[in-house]
Structure formats: C-alpha cells, structure tokens
Amino acid sequence: MTPEPFGARLRHAMDTRGPLCVGIDPHASLLTSWGLNDDIAGLERFTRTVVEALADRVAVLKPQSAFFERFGSRGIAVLEKAVAEARSAGALVLMDAKRGDIGSTMGAYAATYLDQDSPLFSDAVTVSPYLGFGSLRPALDAAAVSGAGVFVLALTSNPEGAEVQRATAADGRSLAQLMLDHMAAENAGAAPLGSVGAVVGATLGDAGVDLAINGPLLAPGIGAQGATPADLPGVFGAAVGNVVPSVSRGVLRHGPDASGLREAAARFADEVRDAVSGS
C-alpha cells in the first residue's frame, strides 16, 4: 500500500493541532536548569519529559540530532526511543540533522532517516542543498517512497547565512530563490501540500523571495533568537498559511514540569493563531 504523503499528513496535523513545531534541543545549560546532570540519564529524562508533555498536542516535534550525538551511541539510543514514542503519540517527527553530501553519500543519509525499516526513520528530515540541489535526489526519492518529507534549507535564521544564501547565481536569481524554485518544481501538482518543505528563518524581516513552493515552510528563530509569532506575516506574506513556526528554547526553558512546557507551547500556539488569522 502506498503510504500517505508527508505533505498531506502535515496539512492534517496543522489543521487539527495547529501548526506549531517544538524543538527538542537538550542543551547542557537546559539540563542543568532542569536540575538534571549533563549525562545520559539527564538526557533520557529531559527527552522523555518533553515527549510525554507535548507529543499528544503539537503538530511537529523536532529533535536536534547534534544534542543526542554528543553522547555517542547511548545518545542515539535515546533519540531512537524518542522518535518512536513521539510518533506513536501522534506527533510528526522532523529529525533536525541538516545533512548534505554528494549524492551517493546522501543515499546513506536517506537510508538512515527516510527508510521505514531504519531505527531512526522519521516523518521528515532537514537537509542542506548547498552542495547543489541535485545532490539531494536520493533523499527526495527515498522520501517519496516512504511517505516522508524533506525540509531543505533556503534562508536560515542566522545572520551568517546571507553571504551564501543571498549570493547571486549565474542566472541572476539569489541562491535561496534558486533552491526555492527547485522545491516548487518537486511539489508541482501535489495536493493539499507538497512534501518538500523549505526552511526560512522567522528572524529575517521580509524574506524577499518567492515562497510559493506549494510546500510547508519551517520557520525557526522564534523565542531565543528574537523573532515572535507576530513577525510571521511580515516574513512570509501570502504564504503564511503554510508556515510551521518552530520554537525550541522558548518552550524548553519552562520545564521541567510538564505543565510549564504545555502552557508555554499553548501560549506560542495562541500567538501564532492570532498572528496568522489577523494577517
């Protein structure tokens, strides 16, 4: 049986749960402020708490792989368990791994995150197209087979990104626009939403690019990096209905109590709803 495409599953989750994505970023400083040790037991407790508090209510949970990898194989084991538990509680899991390599190696990354038989299989994964959009082909193909999604960096939330992403390609488009146009081509004809998403920082002011890619737009940078939900209409314009706003520390700093995490996520969700409906 062909799996339901990620874009359709995400649209449904956004419509029923609201579009918020909460990042699971177990910074050492957060573990400490939660009264946990910066060790594998602390990582396990932190991660389980976030998943139990939020996986039954937010559309997307986005574990940041680096914070698990820093603990080696035991950290990866915690990540595997979190992915499985979050998915079984109804959240879509976006693995924030930001992989990007030559096509043949990209195939191994695709096998890691986008093959249904992999222990790290996720609903979607973040990738970098700056080795050339075509280098992502194995991931795009694997995602299509497994009903997963791929979120491609376009304009990142960090100020250093602009020197690459705003640079002008040979045909006069910005590199970010070139990538977005590739994404639009991948998503052509998909309904209700394509499965290839773009990452566009909420911190950017007016994005200044054409965001009509017929796919989801992940908007990190809300909270700790200074953007707010009220910024979304200005950054995304007419595409704001496809935005998945993403917050990590802005929610996580309200732990360790599940109620604190839930209330913080609900506040962001309310602010997003107000900003998007008023736009």
Ligand X SMILES: O=C(O)c1cc(=O)[nH]c(=O)n1[C@@H]1O[C@H](COP(=O)(O)O)[C@@H](O)[C@H]1O
Mention every residue, 6+ apart, whose C-beta is less than 8 A from residue 1: none
For the CB of residue 264, give the shortest distance to ligand X in the complex, in Å: 12
Number of H helices and number of E strands within the chain?
Answer: 12, 8
For residue 97, give Cα distances in angstroms to 56, 74, 171, 253, 260. 23, 17, 30, 22, 27
Active-site position among 98, 137, 254, 267: 98
For the CB of residue 65, give the shortest distance to ligand X in the complex, in Å: 9
- Asked if 255 interacts with ligand X (CB under 6 A), we say no
By CB under 6 A, name the one of 49, 64, 165, 187 that touches ligand X: 64
- Asked if 225 interacts with ligand X (CB under 6 A), we say yes
Radius of gyration of the chain measured on its C-alpha atoms: 18
Is 19:9 a contact under the CB 8 Å cutoff? no
Using the 8-state DSSP alphabet, how is residue 240 labeled?
G
- Asked if 220 interacts with ligand X (CB under 6 A), we say yes
Residue in 112, 32, 128 with CA at minimum distance from that of residue 80: 112
- Asked if 122 interacts with ligand X (CB under 6 A), we say no
Question: Considering beta carbons, is residue 96 or 186 the nearer one to ligand X?
Answer: 96
Applying CB under 6 A, which part among 4-12, 42-50, 167-175, 246-254 lies near ligand X? 246-254
Q: Which residues are catalytic?
A: 98
Q: Which residues bind ligand X (CB under 6 A)?
A: 23, 25, 64, 96, 126, 156-157, 199, 201, 220-221, 223-225, 246-250
